[in-house]
Structure 1
Amino acid sequence: MSVPTVRRVFGSIPRQRTLQSIRQLLQFQVLAHLLRIALSIILLPLDNAILFATCIVGQLSVFLWHSNPAYRRQAALRDARFYPKTILITGIDTPHGLALARCLYYHGHRVVGADVSNLPFASGEGMSKSLVNSYRISRSNYVSRLLDVIHREKIDIWIPCSPRMNVLEDAMAKHMVESRTTCKAIHMDTEWVNRFSETESFVQFLNENGLPAVENHQVQSRDSVHKILHRSPSKIYHMRRPGTAVDDSNVVTLPKRTLSMTYTEVSEIRISKDRPWVLQQQARLGEFIAELLVVSGKVKAMKLRPADDRFWGQSRLDEGLAVTIQKLMDRFAVKGGPEMTGHLCVRLLVDEEFETNHVRYVAHIASCTQGTGSVEYLLHNPSSSVINGYLAVLSPPTDDTPANLENKRQQARASIVTSPRRTFSYSEKLIQIDTHGVLSLLYPVAKQVDRFVDQTNNRLLFWQDPRFSALDPLPWWWHAHVYRPLKELELILSRQGKQ
């Protein structure tokens, strides 16, 4: 059946039939909520047994294994030279927020958590034993409530992790916090947020500071194409019309194997001021993602991974690439100056330059996103360098010593991670198949199926749930049997109210 025919069939459905379909869809969603509540009740005896057994094993492990994180906390607190800091994490209900809280706790620090939510009940993450106190902050009075918590708990460092606040809102909150208290925020200020949020201003920052940026030109003549190619003979470009997909068959790869083939290819392209083309730099080794913690213009921690799912990071050549990117990221942070502090995710294109006796890596910066939500690989299993980086915000900036430079080289080798393969998604598969949006009414159903499958897997494979920890299992249990059922009930009542 052709697409126009399908559209005519759907268009001929009476309006009342459409409203009936919407009601049925809402009923299906209510049924999905009830199924998740039922699943929570069914698994409650099993999860109670798991919780009880885990608590016993966790207590015994403290005495039996000195490598236990709890033993590390006890050792830190016994150290007379150790001064624990009080650290606030907003967005404790995120996987990386909880992972940070646990890591800081086992390093001996005092951690306060906060959910940015209007719900009257605590999230599972808020029940973690790593927190001395947990708060709920509404979005409407975010800054005033944040200041109140900072004053009450005498917070030294604030780490914003909540996805419900955008980076600009947290930047404005940072200005208020640091101007009215002694607390330091691990976040970019408003000037850097605005500058890095816009592509043009970000590229201008790179060019002004001599940092390699990915070339992206809009060309209006064949002569301008040849000038760009002659200026950078070792680079590869894709040439396409604006708005054309990168994988489209009309995309032209330049330069060709020989100069004459390049001229012939360009001469056949219809290009003018009225018909401009885009000339975009490509890379032989592909795209890489560098997730950074930058404090006072210095990279304190980094995780490096390929942008796709390919296997990477096992050879000495990969270590050499990691060192190359580490050096570039150090330059990038230094150019930002001592005012640059925050979490950054930098996308890079990596190329090879062939010289007489060797080949070297060349990395070009393509874009940058900000906030803890963009550096989840860095924070899901935070290292000691991440914790030390946060504490460095309380100290004056210092110059790198030879020992620090050697530590950075070792960190570059340890920063390599491989992107895990994504799980199958029914909703994404449906959207890929339905290119014309004919089956759009089924999208919410597919998303509900995805959610149900994910939650079932997290319940049955509880050790893979980021909330679960053998030393801190209560967040997992509370989320599954208190927070999530109450949340489902709230959604059912809100849907009934809309009807």
Structure 2
Amino acid sequence: MLTAESSRLAHAAQNLGLLFLSFLFLPLDTYILFLSYASRLFFSFGPPSNRASVRSTHTPYFQPRTILVTGVGMTKGLTLARLFYAAGHNVIGADFEPPFLPLTCGHVSRSLKAFHRLSKPNGTREGSARYIQSLLSIIRKEKVDIWVSCSGVASAVEDGQAKEVIELVTSCKAVQYDVSTTKRLHEKHSFIEYTRSLGLPTPDTHTVTSRAAVLQLLEESQGSGKKYIMKYIGTDDSVRGDMTLLPFATASQTKAHISRLQISEERPWILQQYIDGPEYCTHALVVRGEVKAFTACPSAELLMHYEALPVDSALSRSMLRFTQELASASGKDFTGHLSFDFLVDSREVRSAKRDPNKAVRLYPIECNPRAHTAVALFNGTPEMISEGYMALLEPEDLQGKDSGVNGTMTTPPVYPQQPDKYYWIGHDLVELVVLPFLSLFSKNGMSFVEVFEHWVKFLEHLVWWKDGTYEVWDPLPAWWLYHVYWPWQFFTALVTGWKWSRVNVSTTKMFGC
């Protein structure tokens, strides 16, 4: 992985190599694209046929709604757009795009009735106002019933502001938290404080605004056996992946590491206890404080492979209970997507595998008050639309209640029905095929056996797993992602000389050095 210290020549070579890969696979991918379209002449695939049967019933029990999904350039937004389309609703897509340059893969999806460009917020009051006005204009023009926010980290607070304005001046319902809730959950330190105030477990966490405070806390922890990691409270790609365990063996090593971090009142960090165990993530849809849909899966710092945990496992049950308790305690105005990152002690995991009824002690380390890519696991689960999102349009007193969490009656959530395992072929092609092969020619590279194991893993994903973007009935977004969107990003980085270290194919995000 290249860093900021890597030469511009190395970064240029990285961009050129990925542009070459896109060009190399263009004929094959174009053939698959046309084959997918041709197959529809002879076979009926997936949602379009279901959609036709839904529309042909003309029963009073189904009324097509107009749904606005923002963030359709990301897998999570595209997945939800397709699910709403399959359920028979009219889907309006929106995302950030340059004028006259259709880049986002969701723009070309068959599931969309229309696509609109959003004005991108730039951190200023004027930029936020333009963004909110662009959303409001779409909602009024298209007569939108529900706005499903799938935007990214960059517009988290602005989405909260938009929710407040939209529900104040229109009849549209928003699957999005208000400003105060979004800030409380989005910011790492306030999330931990809020979770602790509800009596839920948290790892030992301290907000720090100076290097001296960090060193003092680490000194006080001497003898406890605890290890800590530093996390910047805001968004900074250059330090996002730093998992250095503190303190070091000597005080001088610890001080040297801390001295390299920019810590101040204006740039606060958190010092958080490190838990030695696997990481898990969740995705939930919450409507009026009630968890309507839920899934959990193994996680990682850069998660590119999704596999749902068994619904009846102790881990899944414990994560659901945590989510329900937080959602219920947050009140009836608590509506939106909700995802958590948990760490679980290795001993707890082994114990949970032996006893599925065990209550597992979880350590929440982060909350994302927005849709998670794990929503892809709900492909083929139309109940998430009918029993989840559509509940937002029902009068509150008509929502059924039949099970309890801490005395509050709730409806059991929808889980993914026989979920597939998901990967992204572009990511795996590079990580499991190209890079292992190139490492054979480096001094400390992989052995032939290790390279072969990576290739076998790639073939396993190719044959048995499902790509997160490609659908045989809607093939153009996948082609667009790899032959329009990413080539443009790599070309732009090549021309401007911008240095990046990693990309997330599912969220279309590039991480700067």
Change (3 A) 1:225 1:470: closer
CA offset digits 1:209-241 (Å, max 9, x no partner):
3333334489999xx999xx9xxxxxxx74248
Partner of 2:283: 291
The one of 291, 299, 310 equivalent to 1:307 is 299
Supply the AA of the counterpart residue of 1:132: K
Query: What is the distance in 2 between the residues matched to 1:350 and 1:490?
Result: 41
1:76 alignment partner in structure 2: 54
Q: Is the 8 A contact 2:423 2:467 kept in 1?
A: no
Q: 2:373 aligns with which of 367, 376, 380?
A: 376
Q: 1:480 to 1:202 in 2, by over 3 A?
A: closer
Contact 1:122 1:136 in 2 (8 A): no
One-letter amino acid of the counterpart of residue 195, structure 1: R
Match of 1:134 among 78, 101, 115: 115
| Deviation at residue 56 of structure 1 after TM alignment | 2.6
The answer (yes or no) to whether the contact 1:100–1:380 under 8 Å persists in 2 is: no
Q: Is the 8 A contact 2:22 2:482 kept in 1?
A: no
How many residues were matched structurally? 399
* Residues 165 and 88 (structure 1), Cα distance of their counterparts in 2 relative to 1, 3 Å cut: farther
Letter in 1 for 2:319: I
Q: 1:86 to 1:410 in 2, by over 3 A?
A: closer
CA distance in 2, matches of 1:279, 1:89: 35
Counterpart in 2 of 1:467? 469
Aligned counterpart, 1:258: none
Residues 181-202 of structure 1: CA deviation (Å, up to 9, x unaligned): 1112211111111222344433
Specify the SS of the correspondent of 1:118.
coil
CA RMSD of aligned residues (A): 4.8
C-alpha distance 27-329 of structure 1, shift in aligned 2 (>3 A):
closer
The gaps in structure 1 that reach 5 residues or longer are 1-9, 11-17, 230-236, 252-277, 434-452
* CA deviation string 1:433-492 (max 9, x = no partner): 9xxxxxxxxxxxxxxxxxxx9xxx9xx99x965432211122234445555666666666
Q: Which residue of 1 aligns with 2:401?
A: 401
Q: Aligned equivalents of 2:151 and 2:383: distance in 1?
A: 22
- Please tell me whether the aligned partners of residues 323 and 412 of structure 1 are also in contact (alpha carbons under 8 angstroms): no
> Structure 2 residue aligned with 1:319, among 310, 313, 328?
313
Identity among equivalent positions (%) equals 27
One-letter identity of the residue aligned with 1:394? L
Q: How does 1:326-475 map onto structure 2 within 5 Å?
A: 326-350=320-344, 352=348, 360-372=358-370, 375-379=372-376, 381-382=378-379, 383-388=381-386, 389-398=388-397, 400-402=400-402, 411=414, 423=428, 425=431, 465-475=467-477
Cα deviation for residue 76 of structure 1 reads 1.3
**Deviation sequence 1:156-215 (CA, Å, 0-9, x none):** 111222337421121112222222211122111111112223444333323333333334
Cα distance in 2, alignment partners of residues 30 and 348 from structure 1:
34
Amino acid at match of 1:346: F
Aligned: 1:104 with 2:46? no
Cα 1:239–1:188, aligned 2, differ >3 Å: closer, same or farther?
same
Q: Quick check: 2:287–2:391 contact (8 Å CA) kept in 1?
A: yes
Alignment pair present for 1:57 and 2:57:
no
**Matches of 1:466 and 1:295, distance apart in 2:** 26
Match of 2:234 in 1: none
Give the letter aligned to residue 89 of structure 1: V
Say whether the 8 Å CA contact 1:349–1:363 is kept in structure 2: no
Q: Which amino acid aligns with 2:140?
A: H
Given the superposition, is the C-alpha separation of residues 476 and 327 from structure 1 closer, same or farther in structure 2, using an over 3 Å criterion? closer
Contact between 2:280 and 2:298, CA under 8 Å: does it hold in 1? yes
For residues 415 and 31 of structure 1, do their structure 2 counterparts lie closer, same or farther at Cα, with a shift above 3 Å needed?
closer
- Gap change, CA 1:109 and 1:484, over 3 Å in 2: same
Bigger helix share: 1
Q: Which residue of 2 aligns with 1:261?
A: none
Q: 1:199 to 1:34 in 2, by over 3 A?
A: closer
In structure 2, do the counterparts of structure 1 residues 89 and 311 end up closer, same or farther at CA, with 3 Å as the change threshold?
closer
Any idea what SS the aligned residue of 2:40 has? helix
Residues in 1 aligned to 2:306 and 2:469: alpha-carbon distance in whole angstroms: 27
SS of structure 2 residue aligned to 1:363: coil
- Superimposed CA distance per residue, residues 77-122 of structure 1 (whole angstroms, 9 cap, x where no aligned partner): 1231210111111221112211111111011010011121224222
Give 1:161's aligned amino acid: C
- Once residues 39 and 173 of structure 2 are traced to their aligned partners in structure 1, the CA distance between those partners, rounded to angstroms, is 38
Residue 286 and residue 125 in structure 1: after superposition, are their counterparts in 2 closer, same or farther (change >3 A)? closer
Q: Give the distance between the partners of 2:135 and 2:113, measured in 1 at CA.
A: 16
Deviation at 1:313, TM superposition (A): 7.6
Question: Which amino acid is the alignment partner of residue 376 of structure 1?
Answer: T
User: Is the CA contact 2:228–2:273 (under 8 Å) kept in the aligned structure 1?
Assistant: no
Quote the offset at 1:288 in angstroms.
Answer: 3.0
Could you say which structure has the larger radius of gyration? 1
Kindly provide the CA deviation profile for residues 282-311 of structure 1, in whole angstroms up to 9, marking residues without a partner as x: 57x754322221111011111112335999
Matched, 1:212 2:192: no
Q: TM-score, normalised by structure 2?
A: 0.63
Letter of the structure 2 residue corresponding to residue 177 of structure 1: I
Change (3 A) 1:417 1:342: farther
The residue type equivalent to 1:307 in the other structure is S
Query: TM-score normalised to the size of structure 1?
Result: 0.65
Q: Look up the equivalent residue of 1:125 and give its one-letter code.
A: G
Q: Distance in 2 between matches of 1:162 and 1:311?
A: 20
User: Structure 1 residues 363, 294: closer, same or farther in 2, change over 3 A?
Assistant: farther
Q: 1:219 to 1:419 in 2, by over 3 A?
A: farther
State the Cα distance separating 1:132 from its structure 2 match.
0.7
Aligned counterparts of 2:370 and 2:482: Cα–Cα separation in 1: 25
Give unmatched runs, 5+ long, in structure 2.
Answer: 121-126, 207-213, 231-242, 251-270, 440-454, 499-513
CA distance in 1, matches of 2:11, 2:473: 40
Alpha carbons of structure 1 residues 242 and 469: separation in structure 2 relative to 1, 3 Å: closer
Mapped partners of 1:384, 1:107: distance in 2: 7
Match of 1:35 in 2: 20
